[in-house]
Amino acid sequence: MEARAAKPNIQQIRTDAPRDLLKLVVVGHVDHGKSTLIGRLLYDTDSLPEGKLEELKVISQRRGMSLEWSFALDAFQAERDQAITIDTTQIWFKTPKRDVVIIDAPGHREFLKNMVSGAAAADAAVLVIDAAEGVREQTRRHGYLLHLLGVRQVAVVVNKMDLVDYSAQRFGDLVHEVTSYLAGLGLEPSFLLPISARDGDNVAVPSTNMSWYDGPTVLQAFDRFHVLTAPVEQPLRLPVQDVYHFDDRRIIAGRIESGILRAGDTLLFSPSNKIVKVRALEAWNAEPPIEAHAGQSVGITLEEQIFVERGEVISHVENPPPLTSVFRASLFWMGHTPLEPGRRYKLKLATKEANVTAETIERIIDTDSLAPRSGDKVERNMVAEVIFRSREVLAVDEYRSLARTGRFVLLDGYDTVGGGSISLEGYPDQRDALTIRSTNVFSVEHGVTGTSRAERNGHTGGVLWFTGFSGAGKSTLAMEVERRLFQKGYQVYVLDGDNVRRGLNANLGFSPDERAENIRRVGEAAALFADAGFICITAFISPYQADRDRARGAAQRVDTNAFHEIHVHADLATCEERDPKGLYKKARSGEIRDFTGISAPYEPPAAPELTVDTGNESVDDCVAAIIGHIERNFTMKERSGG
């Protein structure tokens, strides 16, 4: 046994050259040897505390075991008694080229929440597989979690090769199985290593038992991973951790997640949209630096005093994070209570905490077959794609672009129940819609009041906002309602794609951002019609609730009762069967991108003032319902005979 524990000679660690920090998460099925591997690494790199080796020998002998490296990590007596790891543990050591912090994540099914928390902070991952047991359910689940959390660098370590007589054939079979599975997730392993962690084969030095393997050792693989925690070439992201008051200074503190920050930089705070210059970078009892890089914690003072709070994200003006109140999440669920639409949770994203509501479960993923299926709830240990909505606007990044600010954790009360990554595919950046660029604009009162207009017209002004799928019948109903109201003497006008896209919005295309701007302009124009005393009917798909809410806000500047959302409902199958302009057919063939209901989302109104169902009701019945609604809510009593 003593010979087995002999320390190998590894390359001398350099301390004279700059050293970066690599964050690793170690995952795998329970009992496949993760903790043993890490314990052996600590021993081989002289990172065990003084006297720890002797303690391990005593503990192992007392239990009638050979030297057990995993005991080097088990901080809790409960772990030794149960022979499982129940919490994440951070272990620090040095390779010849860099400093490494390993996040030892539990493999047991009941403790996956700790694995999610650990992987969310990692640059790379080590997936450990028992050579004898092979790929297990938990192995696949952990692989999928790495994919969800945006960990793109993965070393697959086939451990316990001594149990299969160091068979190259067995190693090759397992490599084929696991690489095929990871390929289905879009992951390609960075390294594939056969090892025996207990005996040190291919951990720090090449194994004499596996001469057929000529790849790197585990330590060499660690030195070949790319460090992602300090991506200085990426856009600046500095989540605000806190604001401190020293003498007459207000120091904003946080950790730079990406990019470089320099004194004199012009910064944008999101989501508040405040712009200000950096006066200085601050240091405690030291000369202030002129710049700071990703991975560093910094304090800054600003040239102007502005109100800043924890959770805001600092960026440069040129490349800010998108702002949104809705996003799509690839999610792993760990809550004892299933996730269901309508349930509210606390989102933790960098330093920001916000309440979000699960709006729609788009699909549930089988982690074994990777096949999607529908469902109305997400049970414990399931993977799903879910749409979340927040009442407040959030500064987020897509995890594919900036992983550190595109990963999140969900809490239910104080319990971590989920984690995942953010996608904004199909959703617009709401920043432009929230940014007011006009200055020196002053309100001038009209000489004609709204009351005077209403008395002359016999009705108040308002906006009837028709929303629904293409083919639901919005324009058909709008034009017929307009015709009948005009016959009754109403001041009425319809805004739809045909008349606004030819002029007012002729410069806009159909990307999510351009569609959002299209609806913003229509909302403002409709509000002006309402202010002029007209009943303005709009007929637009307007798929995003946030855009319709902004249109409501514009109309409510005229009158709090001015905006009425009318859901023109027909299910997707009915609309596609009608397909009056052949758009669905083109969308299905790929000729039209970002088509609502096919390749882009539609968010039904949460609380419309009126819903008409054109799939089950006639045009006349729907028109009558809409006109009745208008007469009840906009007509003066004298005209209605009251």
Token pair listed for 416: 């971590």
Q: How many whole angstroms separate alpha carbon 45 and alpha carbon 95? A: 7
What is the bridge-based pairing of β-strands 462-467 and 535-539? parallel
| DSSP SS3 for 26 | strand
Nearest residue to 432 (alpha-carbon basis) of 316, 324, 359, 333: 324
Name, in order, each residue with C-beta under 8 angstroms of 268's C-beta and a sequence gap of 6 or more. Answer: 274, 275, 314, 315, 316, 317, 320
In a 10 Å sphere around its CB, with 0-12 CB exposed, 13-18 middle and 19+ buried, how is residue 26 labelled?
A: buried
Name, in order, each residue with C-beta under 8 angstroms of 11's C-beta and a sequence gap of 6 or more.
Answer: 96
What whole-number distance in Å separates Cα of residue 610 and Cα of residue 566?
5
Neighbouring residues of 468: CB distance < 8 A, sequence distance ≥ 6: 474, 541, 567, 568, 569, 570
Cα separation, 229 vs 547, whole angstroms: 36
Q: Which of 315, 325, 330, 542 is an active site residue? A: 542
| Token pair of 566 as six digits | 């009318």
Q: Evaluate whether 279 touches 263 at the Cβ level (below 8 Å).
A: yes
Q: What are phi and psi of 100, to 5 degrees?
A: -125, 135
What is the 8-class DSSP label of residue 166? T
User: Own/partner pairs for 494-502, CB < 8 Å, 24+ apart?
Assistant: 494/536, 494/537, 494/538, 494/539, 495/522, 495/525, 495/526, 495/529, 495/536, 495/537, 495/538, 495/539, 495/540, 496/538, 496/539, 496/540, 497/539, 497/540, 500/525
Rounded to whole angstroms, the Cα distance separating 128 from 288 reads 44
Residue 47 annotated to the active site: no
Residues 407 and 150: their CA atoms lie apart, in Å, by: 8
Orientation of helix 619-634 relative to helix 474-487, angle to 10°: 60
Which residues are known catalytic residues? 542
